[in-house]
A and B are shown apart, each in its own frame.
Chain A
Amino acid sequence: MERQTGDMHSEKDRGEDLGEDRGVGKPGEDNGLGGLPPLAQPLAQVHDEGEADVSHDTSGQDEKENGWAYQDGLREDFQADFGAGFDESVNDPLETDLEASLLVGYVDGAAEASTQRFMVVLDEKATVELDELLVTSQNLPDGSEVSHFGIVVEVTSEFEGAEWSSDTVRIAAGTQPGTVSNRVEVEILRTLPETWIAPQPGVAVRRASGVHRRHALFLDQMEQPLPVGLDMTGSPVYADWAFINGEKGGHVNISGVSGVATKTSYALFLLYQLFETPQGRALLGVHAPATHALVMNVKGQDLLHIDRGNTKFASNAAARSQWAALGVPDPGPFTDVELYAPRSPHSVADAAVADVPTRRSDEVTVFGWSPEQFIRQGLLQYVFGDPNDRNNQVELVVQRAQLQLARWARPVVGKPGAVTLIAPGNDVPMTFERAVRLHHPPRLAGEGELIENWADLVEILSEKLTPDSPDFDESWVAGAAVGTLHAFMRRLYKQTPRMGHLVHTSVSPVELRRAVSVVDIHALHDDGQRFVVGALLSKVFQDSQGAGREPLTFIVLDELNKYAPRMGTSPLKEIMVDIAARGRSLGVILVGAQQSAGDVEEAVVRNASLRVVGRLDAGETADYAFLTPEQRVRASRVLPGTMFVAQPVVPVPIPCRFPFPPYATNAGEGAPVAAEQEAYEEETFDRL
């Protein structure tokens, strides 16, 4: 302290000056101002006459002989005033003192401190950046101590003493005195013990490290911390697992503009922590082997390579140490992945070929629904998923058609997945849920009308629902008007090229057999994507009913605005809202993402405990009230990879980064083993 504020005197000498200037001192009490640079220097120690003569003589001589030379007194003075740079030979013992090295400044008494925010006047030797965690402790009159922990939200600097802009030039030129005043604004994260008072002006402010950092980030309150990123200093930041796994809260919501590809990357980063690290497996506990993630790949073929190492990872020196900081010394690709791709619309009649040029055909499972699954799972409603194309009358027809299909469908001998429609007896119930509960013995194909694919289905529905068709059946139309029936058929025909190829006896359903199942829907039309998402989510949600919270099922889904838009309604949106509201208690955890939270149904966003915000469009920031005003502004210009992580226990979102992935996030990064590469090239060649 002595050197930093060399022209100051000790508090004992002139404590009253301090109080006088700041209006806080109370004589005879320890007011917690220890270490505050006092404001005045008494002359008492300056005019010691005995010394005066000696130094005077020296000064005179030096001046005459050497022109101008700095004498001791002057040297000290400049040292005190111009900082350590003036003399590098001084070895300050305080530098090694931990407390001193953590000291950054003092609570600013010229600005109002509150229970929410305060300003810190920085010591001239301290450099403090945005997002750093600070701590300040004060003694209360009853002798107890209160600590405030906070995060730096703004940093300012100015010439104290400059009143006119032109003063700056004079101060810089050295003709007018002025000192650089560096200040930081701190948003309080926590007060410990919870005492709602403001930090006391003048008390020392230190960097929060060690146990202080743990307190600042509420780590002591988290029984099961999950790393959610690295703060700006490279230390891990944690979220409370109990708020993700559904125990106290659940779901993750990620916002960010597209193109910087951080949303899905961040979701995968979280999945990687859980599925591929010992710490993550420990959080999942005994249910780890039965825990699954369903990842929807909505853009490019990016996620179809996460089972391969990332060739660029090795050259990224920082990445390895960042993973190490997260407790993952040797990260690699996802180890237990199944890739699903839709049946190509160009597949020949009975074949099922995936449309994924970047992977070998045996690496990808072609997914779809057999007519039997389509009918028994009641998926017809998800065919009409566009919330902007809703019609209540048509909806009734959909419900009735769905019910009748379920009542009429019978398995077919020798044709798994196909159904044949046979008029049911009166004993088959008239509600969908009851009808599908019945299991019928297989029938011969010729006994009824055979459905092996989407075209068969459409044809039969057309016959049953067209009034002038010979097979028109009143019981399939629920008294709907002719116009309504036409509207239904029109919509059905429209969807045929969009998702019809997904319904076929040759395809297998998506089953969560591996830890991570990636389902590629990027090439599908929006309506096709909505159908797949609706069908899969309804299955996952149905399967989880009554099964308890664990094992968990994670659903990673980007472009939530497409599936649960704020405006309009659809069966898919209803499922999404249901998952958001009840999913956490059923163990279905939605890791959702979207460009702008404002476009997504409020309930879906609001129910997420962990809210992550990357780069935002400047116009959208108003939707993110949980960010500080400064963070809202910063969010429009943060670099890719910087995310603000908000969670229930920590009142201010913590800016984080997450490390470069060790798994490939596009075909170019993929590292095939030599044999694999050869086989792939051979196969490609054969295709030609």
Chain B
Amino acid sequence: MSIFVEDWGAVYGSPYQIDPDDEVVVETELIEDGDRIVFHEGKGDLRPLAFVDGVRRPEGVLYCLDAATGVQTRGIAGAYACGAVVTGRGRPAKITREYIERLLVWGGGVHRLLPDVPGGWHWEIFSIQETHPDKIGQELQVRMRKAEGRLADELCREGFLTLVDGPLTFVRERDAAVVGFVKTHHRRLLDLRHHSRLPELSPGQRTSLFTLGKDRYSAYLRLTRGAPISGRWSGIVRIELPQAAGLGPAIAIADLVTSALPLYAGVAHADPRAPQNLQPVGALEKLLRRRLGDRSMAQRAVRDAVRRAIARETDPELAAPFSVPLSMHSL
């Protein structure tokens, strides 16, 4: 009996969450090499790559009380940012197309505006019918994913081989060179006999492509060989490719990605989710978090906005636009 340690920092959980008893629930079928699983070396000329990712942050929980009915509804104010790292052989990796949106999502169909706060604080208002706090929080995530998808589509159209963080769910550009990059393995996708062979992948190798549902191909690949103390699944990620472009192009792109990605593997001392969290993605996330602005300033802005909203109802003069945050007057 051997013991190993997960490469990821413990607060990030484990990238391998598959239980031995799990059954395959998604419809998959090995397609590249018949019903066999073959390990293919990555190959192909490196071409300009774009890595797309986003970050999000809840910044305040709000309540809206309907005085007539006594019904209280929740809202979550927050922000997300997404952007891309473009890179190519011999070129510096650059962060580009950063996009930031600050928003307030109300549950229960409420649509209540939040006044702007000096300093550039403005919230786009969205509303969903659900009322559960988790569902409201998820809307922030969904909007971020959609923005990532739009950015990925755009970069694909411009000719980048685009890697999107996570599955291809929100990418519409299905017949272009777009690849979903999945770090965490939630459920088993192949027969146990195939699945059990996956840790045998060497760095820079991928498995045969298999279909995933009716619109995607997928394959496992290994970024790096783990240390002797690392688990057998260390450094194994899964990629997703759209079926729309056809199997041939998908194979070519999979080969290319397989040869390219080990270069970008995250570095253990710099990233607690290395090696799966790629270097460009790690740096992008760090920058996007900074772009979201100071966390405590954001929380103060939400409070100011609510204070303004209340003041507007009770004392219109207080609600006039101040050149300094209202909190400074009232504190």
Contact = CB atoms under 8 A, between A and B. Distances in A.
Contacts, number: 162
7 contacts: A7-B98, A25-B119, A39-B98, A41-B96, A52-B153, A52-B157, A56-B176
B293 A20 contact: yes
Contacts of B116: 16, 27
B171 to A, nearest CB: 12
A43 B280 contact: no
Given A16-B121, A27-B321, A177 B98 contact: no
Interface stretch (B69-77, B82-90, B232-240): B82-90
| Chain A CB within 10 A, most for which of B102, B293, B297 | B293
B96 A81 contact: yes
Contacts of A164: 269-270
Interface residues of B, number: 60
Given A7-B97, A17-B120, A39-B98, A70 B159 contact: yes
Interface of A: 7, 14-21, 23, 25-29, 39-43, 46-47, 52, 55-56, 59-60, 62-63, 67-68, 70-71, 73-74, 77-78, 80-82, 161, 163-164, 166-167, 170-172, 174-179
A175 B321 contact: no
Interface stretch (B15-23, B28-36, B215-223, B283-291): B283-291
Contacts of A73: 157-159
Contact of A178 (B151, B173, B283): B283
Given A47-B154, A73-B157, A74-B160, A40 B122 contact: no
Given A43-B147, A46-B151, A67-B45, A20 B93 contact: no
B320 to A, nearest CB: 12
B321 A74 contact: no
Interface of B: 45, 47-48, 81, 85-100, 102, 116, 118-122, 147, 150-151, 153-154, 156-160, 173, 175-177, 263-264, 267, 269-270, 279-280, 282-284, 286-287, 290-291, 293-294, 297, 321, 323
B157 A78 contact: no
B86 A81 contact: yes
**B91, B100, B160: which has the most chain A beta carbons within 10 Å?**
B100
B120 A18 contact: yes
A82 B157 contact: no
B279 A27 contact: no
**Closest CB pairs A-B (n = 6):** A19-B120, A73-B158, A16-B120, A81-B94, A177-B93, A176-B279
B154 A175 contact: no
B126 to A, nearest CB: 16
A82 B87 CA distance: 10
B151 A177 contact: no
A546 B287 CA distance: 74
A167 B175 CA distance: 35
A171 B147 CA distance: 27
Contacts of B297: 20, 23
A171 B151 contact: no
A17 B92 CA distance: 26
A50 B50 CA distance: 22
Contacts of B157: 52, 55-56, 59, 73
A63 B153 CA distance: 17
B120 A20 contact: yes
A77 B96 contact: yes
Contact of B150 (A17, A47, A70, A81): A47
Given A41-B98, A43-B99, A74-B48, A178 B270 contact: no
Contacts of A47: 150, 153-154
A163 B286 CA distance: 11
B85 A177 contact: yes
Nearest to B94: A81
A15 B119 CA distance: 9
A46 B97 contact: yes
B51 to A, nearest CB: 9
Nearest to A74: B159
A177 B94 contact: yes
Contacts of B100: 14, 17, 39-40
B89 to A, nearest CB: 8
Contacts of B45: 67-68
A21 B279 CA distance: 24
B159 A176 contact: no
B165 to A, nearest CB: 15
Contacts of B96: 7, 41, 77, 80-81
